[in-house]
Structure 1
Amino acid sequence: MQELLVQVIGWLLLVVLWVLFIWQYRKDPRRLGLAALLLPLVLVSISAVVDLLSALVPGFGFLITLIVVMTPLIVVVFGGALIYNGVLMWRREGVRLSNLMSLAAGVLVFVLPVLAVLLVGIGTWWSYCLAFILFMASVFTACLFVMMLLYAWVHAIFPVKSRAVAAVILGARTINGKVTPLLRGRLDKALELNASQAQSNLLIVPTGGQGPDELEPEAVSMARYLREKGITESQILIEDRAKDTIQNLKFSDALVRERQPAGKLWLVTSDYHALRAGLASRQLGLDALAFGGKTAAYYRPSAFLRECVAMARDHLKLMILLALPFGLGLAGLILVAINSGF
C-alpha cells in the first residue's frame, strides 16, 4: 500500500510539472530554460511509462533491456550517419567550416571513445582524470544537443497561436538576384502565414542587405518573389540594410513600428534557425514569435549543430548553470583520486 501511494504521488508530481511547463510555454516559448525543464521531464516520463508497462505487459522489460544493450550499435549508426551527412554537405555546399559540423561531430563519436580507452590504459592519475573529463564533456555536450533538438522540435510542432501585424522574413544568400531553395522555404512559409490571417492586412517585411557576391540586396530579390506570388505592394515593407540576424530583427521592428506602433511580429526563417531567432527576439525585448520554413533534409544536421553552438554562446549563464552537476562530478572524482593516493 505504501509503495502504491509513493507511485501515485510521483505520477501527480509529474502531471503538475507538465502543467507548469505547458503554462510557461504558452506564456512565452522563447526561453531556453524551458528546454532545460523539458528534457528531464521527458526522460522521467519515459521511465515512469516503461516501469508501468514492464509491470503490466509480459516481456516488455526484456525489450527495453535489449534496446539498452544495443545502445553502442545505435551510437555507431548515429556517428556513421553524421559522417555521411558531412560528406554530402561537403559535395553539395562546398568546403566551409559551417558545412562540416556534422562531419566533425561524426568523427568525434568514434575518436573520443578510443582516446578515452587509451588514456585509461596508461594507468596514471592524470590519464584517469583526462579520460573522465572527456567522458563528462561528451555526456554534457550530448545532453545539450538533445535538449536543444527536442525543444526545437516542440517549438516547431506546437507553435503558440496568435495574431500578428507583420511577418518579418529573414534573408539568406541569393544567386544572381534569384532566391535559393533555402530562402524560398522561408518565403513560402510567410505566404502560408499570410493566407492563415482572416484579413489580408498583414505587413510582410523581407529583410536582408547586399552581400559582396550578390547583385542586389536580398530583401529586393525576396520582394520580387512575393509580388510574383500575389502579395500587393501595399503589404510589402523592404528592409535592405541588415547584415545579420540581430540587425534583421532590430531594423525590421523599427520599420514596422512606423506603420503599426503595437502588435506582435511573426519572424519567418528556416526551420533549423527558428528557435534561435525567437530567443534573440526575446533578448531584444521584441513582441514576436518565430516560425520555420522547410529546409532540405540533408542541410539540417550541420545547420542545427551550428545553431546549437550559437545558442550556447548566447546563453552562457544558463550553460554554466547546467554544467555545474558535471563539474561537481569531476571535482568529486579528483578528490577520490587524491585520497586514494593516485
Structure 2
Amino acid sequence: MQELLVQLAGWALLAVLWAVFVWQYRKDPRRLGLAALLFPLALCSIAAVVDLLSTLVPGFGFLIAIVMVLTPLIVVVFGGALIYNGVLMWRREGARISNLLSLAAGVLVFILPVLAVLLVGINTWWTYSLAFILFMASVFTASLFAMMLLYAWVHAKFPAKTSGVAAVILGARTINGKVTPLLRGRLDKAIELYSSQSEPQLLMVPTGGQGHDEKEPEGVSMARYLRDQGIPESQILIEDRAKDTVENLEFSDALVRERQPEGHLWLVTSDYHALRAGLASRQMGLEARSYGGKTAAYYRPSAFLRECVAIARDQLKLIILLALPFAVGLAGLIFLATRAGF
C-alpha cells in the first residue's frame, strides 16, 4: 500500500510539473530555462512509464534490459552517423569549420572512450582524475545538446502562436541574386504564415544586407521572390543593411514600428535557427515569436551543433549554473579517489 502511495505521489508531482511547464511555455517559449525544466521532466516521465509498463506488461523489463545491453552499439551507430554526415557536409558545402562540426563530434564519440580506458589503465591518481574529468565533461556536454535538441523540437512543433503584425524573414546567402534552397525554405514558411492570417494582414519584412560575394542585398533578392509568389508590393518592407541576427531584428523592428506601433513580430528563419532567434528577440525586449522553415536533412546536424554552441555562448550564465552539479560531482569523485590512495 505504501509503495502504491509513493507511486501515486510521483505521478501527481509529474502532472503538476508538466502543467507548470505548459503554462510557462504558452506564456513565452523564448526562455532556455524552460529547456532545463523540460529535459529532466521528460526523462523522469519516461522512467515512470517504463516502470509502470514493467509492472503491467510481462516481458517488458526484459526488453528494456536488452536495450541497455545494446547501448554501446547504439553509441557506435550514432558516432558513425555523425561522421557520415560530416563527410557529406564537406563534399556538398565545403571544408569550412562550421560544416565539419558533425564530423568532429563523431570522431570524439570514438576517441573519448578509448582515451578514458587508457588513462584508467595507467592507474595513477592524476590519470583517474583526468578520466573523471573527461567522463563528467562528456556527460554534461551530451546532456546539454540533448536538452537543446529536445526543446528546439518542441519549440518548432508547438509554436505558441499569437496574432502577428509582420513576418520578419531572416536572410541567408544568395547566389547571383537568386535565393538558395535554404533561404527558399524560410520564404515559403513566411508565405504560409501570411496566408494563415487575414486580419491584420501581415507585413512581410525580408531582411539582410549585401555580403562581399553577393550581387545585391539579400533583402532585395528575397523581396523579388515574395513578389513572384504573389505577395503585394504594399505589404513588403525591405531591410537591406543587417549583417547578423541582432541587426536583422533591430532594423526590422524599427521599420515595422513606423507602420504598426503595436503587435507581435513573427520571426521566420530556418528550423535549426528558430530557437536562437527567439531567445535573441527576448533579450532585446521585442514582442516576437519565431518559426522555422524546412531545411535539408543532411544540413541539420552540423547546423544544429553550431546553433548549440552559439546559444551556450549567448546564455553563458545559465550554462554555468547547469554545470554546477557536474562540477560538484567531479570534485567529489576526485576527492574520493585521492582518499582511497590513488
Question: Residue in 2 aligned with 1:83?
Answer: 83
Question: Residue in 2 aligned with 1:286?
Answer: 286
8 Å contact kept, 1:82–1:102: yes
- With over 3 angstroms needed to count, the CA separation of the structure-2 counterparts of 1:32 and 1:130, relative to structure 1, is same
Question: Residue in 2 aligned with 1:114?
Answer: 114
Question: Residue in 2 aligned with 1:60?
Answer: 60
* TM-aligned CA deviation for residue 340 of structure 1: 2.2
Tell me the percent identity: 81
Question: Residue in 1 aligned with 2:5?
Answer: 5
8 Å contact kept, 1:245–1:277: yes
| 1:48 counterpart letter in structure 2 | A
Question: Residue in 2 aligned with 1:168?
Answer: 168
**What is the aligned residue count?**
342
2:130 matches 1:149: no
Question: Residue in 2 aligned with 1:240?
Answer: 240
CA distance in 2, matches of 1:3, 1:338: 39
| 2:106 counterpart letter in structure 1 | G
CA distance in 1, matches of 2:189, 2:2: 54
Tell me the SS of whatever aligns to 1:165: strand
Q: How does 1:129-278 map to 2 (within 5 A)?
A: 129-199=129-199, 201-278=201-278
8 Å contact kept, 2:274–2:291: yes
1:85-136 residue CA offsets vs partner (Å, 9 max, x unmatched):
0000000000100000000000000000011111111111000000110000
| 2:297 counterpart letter in structure 1 | A
CA distance in 1, matches of 2:295, 2:317: 31
1:243-284 residue CA offsets vs partner (Å, 9 max, x unmatched):
000000001001100111110000000000000000000000
CA distance in 2, matches of 1:152, 1:224: 30
Tell me the SS of whatever aligns to 1:272: coil
Question: Residue in 2 aligned with 1:19?
Answer: 19
| 1:153 counterpart letter in structure 2 | W
* TM-aligned CA deviation for residue 78 of structure 1: 0.2
Question: Residue in 1 aligned with 2:71?
Answer: 71
* TM-aligned CA deviation for residue 291 of structure 1: 0.1
CA distance in 1, matches of 2:141, 2:152: 16
Question: Residue in 2 aligned with 1:338?
Answer: 338
CA distance in 1, matches of 2:12, 2:182: 45
8 Å contact kept, 1:194–1:200: no
Tell me the SS of whatever aligns to 1:52: helix
* TM-aligned CA deviation for residue 335 of structure 1: 1.4
8 Å contact kept, 1:86–1:103: yes
Question: Residue in 1 aligned with 2:125?
Answer: 125
1:312-338 residue CA offsets vs partner (Å, 9 max, x unmatched):
001111111110111001111121122
8 Å contact kept, 1:176–1:215: yes
| 2:282 counterpart letter in structure 1 | R
TM-score (norm 2): 0.99
* TM-aligned CA deviation for residue 201 of structure 1: 2.0
Question: Residue in 2 aligned with 1:325?
Answer: 325
* TM-aligned CA deviation for residue 189 of structure 1: 0.2
CA distance in 2, matches of 1:104, 1:153: 23
2:49 matches 1:49: yes
CA distance in 2, matches of 1:299, 1:142: 20
CA-based RMSD: 0.7
Q: Which structure 1 residue ranges, 5 or more long, are not aligned?
A: none
* TM-aligned CA deviation for residue 200 of structure 1: 6.5
Tell me the SS of whatever aligns to 1:290: strand
TM-score (norm 1): 0.99
* TM-aligned CA deviation for residue 286 of structure 1: 0.3
CA distance in 2, matches of 1:339, 1:74: 36
Question: Residue in 2 aligned with 1:33?
Answer: 33
* TM-aligned CA deviation for residue 198 of structure 1: 2.3
